[in-house]
A and B are shown apart, each in its own frame.
Chain A
Amino acid sequence: MKKLVLLILIFGVMGVVSAHEADCPYCAEKIVQNTDKQDNEVVVKVGNKRIEYRCLYCVIKDQRRYKGDLVVYAPSEKVGSPVVIKRTGGKWVGPEKMVVLNVFKKHTECAALSRAFSTREALDAYVKRNNVQNAKALSLKEFIELVEKPVQK
């Protein structure tokens, strides 16, 4: 029984992580795997499914295929602490202080340049550390509006 409880605990923690490395359902680029220093896999929980995407932008672009409510575990600046955003009844909600970086030009860069952060300071630190050009901190609302504009990538 102890072993069973332990396994359930392990599975509970790892439940949002896919076993298999696949291509992003939206951009078809390889999903960048998590590392010891940085999480990269964006996981969408919809109904009984947990689907990995390459970046937050890809999730928003692909959201219309899902009719039910969504929970998105977006990798943040901290390993093991994703920014959790939800689409409930079609409305997106995230943590109050979260911000989004979205400055990629091609999808080969989207995993690094379309990311969520728990705070503005965390985004600034990431931008500085990675020398990101033209960075702008977007609120979740601004980000979604930007992505849903048809002229966007």
Chain B
Amino acid sequence: MNLLPSLVLALSPPAWLDDAGADHLSVMPAVHNWAIQRLPAFARDMHGTGVGHAMAYEAMARGEVGSLETATFNRIDRVLHNPPRNPVDEASISPTFIRQYGALEKVFDWAHLLHFQTIDVLIHPGWSQARRDQEIEKLWRNYQSQPYALTGLPMNMEFLSSSPYDGAFRRAYPKVNGLFWGYHWLQTAAYDMLYEIEPRDQIPQYVVLGDQYRRIELYRTNRDFMPMTAEMSPRFSKRFPMIANAFDNLHMLHDNVNDILAQDWEKPRKQAEVKAAITRVLASTHADEEPGEGEGLHDHEHVPSVPGMGKMKGSDGDIMFMSGMGWMDMSRCAHCSIPLPEETATVSANGWTMVVRCLACARDMAAETPGQAIIRTRIQGSSRTLVMISDEEGNWQSNIQGVVFLEQTGEHPECADWSRAFATSEGFDAFVRENQISGASPLSLQSWSERNLGRPPTYRKIDRPNPYGVKD
């Protein structure tokens, strides 16, 4: 597919792109603002991503691309190892870039602000989930009220990454591109760490995710594609698909801009291409359009079971290629390949997050993956989401003391019935009695951890070549 140049010509950039005003916007006043600081390690890493973006852009704007993989990378890396306590003013770190691409900074900053405020809502203590959801909806409306807003519609990622210059940046500057995708990994993985999870259960998860981010994700240079929000945070994306889409569109804009700035073009051409890239993903460009309609740039088709993710390269219905995992059917359990029920669990390990049908699937999938893992699921008898964290050797800890498990092993098409967790043994007893399950006894966390059902006979591997052609 190579349709971008002709379609770009058909788009007329909005007039505000040439506005001379600084047009600074503030966060929407709210009690939850900067709640992120309550998770200091996470906050610092998030603030560090701003420094990383800004330093790379400043180097590119100043024509210092030759130093990107060396001096600039080292400068950024130093900051990422000792990130700032407070949010940073990206413009003060990248003044040359801002003077050249001021409109782009308006788009980036407005979306970054949405990032921060939605995170704040999810961390702010004392609110019910319904209240948080309402507040996030309000933030979204506030975000959409400005012309700099990106569309919340799913965008065809294959289309957006089909320009002749696509991939130039990651080929020429793999280490710095790895940092960018590492930041985007953190920004997208954070949502399921926070969503529907009480603030007291958020910090232990960031011990795992922060370590993964700082040790592995920042330095990965073998990703096939940027991390997608619905891949990293499926639970949040299911509830707020428009926000997941907007973040993916933002991150794709970052990629497009990087590819443009990596070109050996005169500045006016780069500036024109950047404006075209902005225009492609603005909400105003796609006003009154609907998911699943249109073609090309206006093709808002999404993976059917994932409305918060635009169509990916090579995707075919619910089947799509996930970097690091291969081909997956997003409508089915990642472990046993049986269609997903309404209530699911997720398992996060080794940088990915997968949706599974039951806790046995989650545990066994984690058991075959190196490193620590996190399982999240709603459970009966508690308004608190169950969050379990395992060490390197698969020993699990739970945020709910006294959690017990039913694992009355049967066939996988029914695994969501025979593998369950309960906040209390009374809840277990009531469920067993109500459903007339004979011979079931509650498993403690330790007994449950030691079990392993191995490869589900129902698992079906989807064997297709990597559509990105990076690895075989």
Contacts and interface: CB of A to CB of B under 8 A. Distances in A.
Are chains A and B touching directly in their complex (CB below 8 angstroms)?
yes
Nearest to B335: A19
A28 interface: yes
Contact of B455 (A4, A17, A51): A17
Contacts of B364: 19
Contacts of B396: 48
B368 A50 contact: yes
Interface in B359-374: 364-370
B368 A49 contact: yes
A10 B334 CA distance: 20
Contact of A19 (B459, B471, B472): B459
A52 B393 contact: no
A19 B393 contact: no
Interface in B328-380: 334-336, 364-370
Interface string B24-38: 000000000000000
Interface stretch (A65-73, A86-94, A99-107, A128-136): A65-73
A66 B393 CA distance: 7
Interface centre among B369, B390, B395, B450 (most CB of A within 10 A): B369
B457 A10 contact: yes
A30 B368 contact: no
A48 B394 contact: yes
A51 B457 contact: no
Given A15-B454, A51-B370, A20 B325 contact: yes
Interface residues of B, number: 36
Nearest to A12: B454
A46 B394 CA distance: 8
A50 B368 CA distance: 5
Contacts of A7: 409-411
Given A18-B368, A21-B461, A67 B453 contact: no
B165 to A, nearest CB: 28
A74 B315 CA distance: 36
Nearest to A44: B370
A47 B395 contact: yes
Contact of A65 (B324, B325, B392, B410): B392
The number of chain A residues touching the other chain, given as a range, is 20 to 34
A14 interface: yes
Nearest to B455: A19
B410 A4 contact: yes
Contacts of A3: 410-411
Interface string A30-60: 1000000000000000111111100000000
B39 to A, nearest CB: 26
B393 A14 contact: no
Contacts of B326: 21
Contacts of B409: 4, 7-8, 11
A51 B369 contact: yes
Contact of A49 (B324, B325, B393, B471): B393
Given A11-B453, A66-B392, A52 B368 contact: yes
Contact of A28 (B222, B368, B461): B222
B129 interface: no
Contacts of A48: 367, 390, 393-396, 449-450, 452
B225 to A, nearest CB: 16
Given A4-B410, A25-B370, A68 B393 contact: yes
A22 interface: yes
A10 B325 CA distance: 25
Contacts of B334: 20
A47 B453 CA distance: 15
B220 to A, nearest CB: 10
B456 interface: yes
Interface in A129-146: none
A19 B368 contact: yes
B370 A14 contact: no
B368 A51 contact: yes
Contact of A47 (B369, B393, B457, B459): B393
Interface string B443-472: 000000110111111010100000000011
A125 to B, nearest CB: 30
Nearest to A70: B393
B455 A67 contact: no
Given A7-B411, A47-B394, A47-B395, A14 B454 contact: yes
A46 B391 CA distance: 11
Contacts of B393: 46-49, 66-68
Contacts of B471: 30
A19 B456 contact: yes
A93 to B, nearest CB: 20
A53 to B, nearest CB: 9
23 contacts: A4-B410, A7-B410, A10-B457, A15-B453, A15-B454, A17-B454, A18-B455, A19-B454, A19-B456, A20-B335, A20-B368, A21-B326, A22-B368, A25-B370, A30-B471, A30-B472, A48-B393, A49-B370, A49-B394, A50-B452, A52-B368, A66-B393, A67-B393
Interface of B: 222, 324-326, 334-336, 364-370, 390-396, 409-411, 449-450, 452-457, 459, 461, 471-472
Interface of A: 3-4, 7-8, 10-12, 14-23, 25, 28, 30, 46-52, 65-68
Which 10 A-B pairs give the minimum distances between C-beta atoms?
A47-B393, A48-B394, A18-B368, A49-B394, A25-B370, A15-B454, A19-B455, A14-B454, A11-B454, A19-B459
Given A11-B409, A19-B364, A46-B394, 14 more contacts: A8-B409, A14-B455, A20-B334, A20-B365, A20-B368, A28-B222, A47-B394, A48-B390, A48-B452, A49-B368, A49-B393, A50-B368, A51-B369, A67-B392
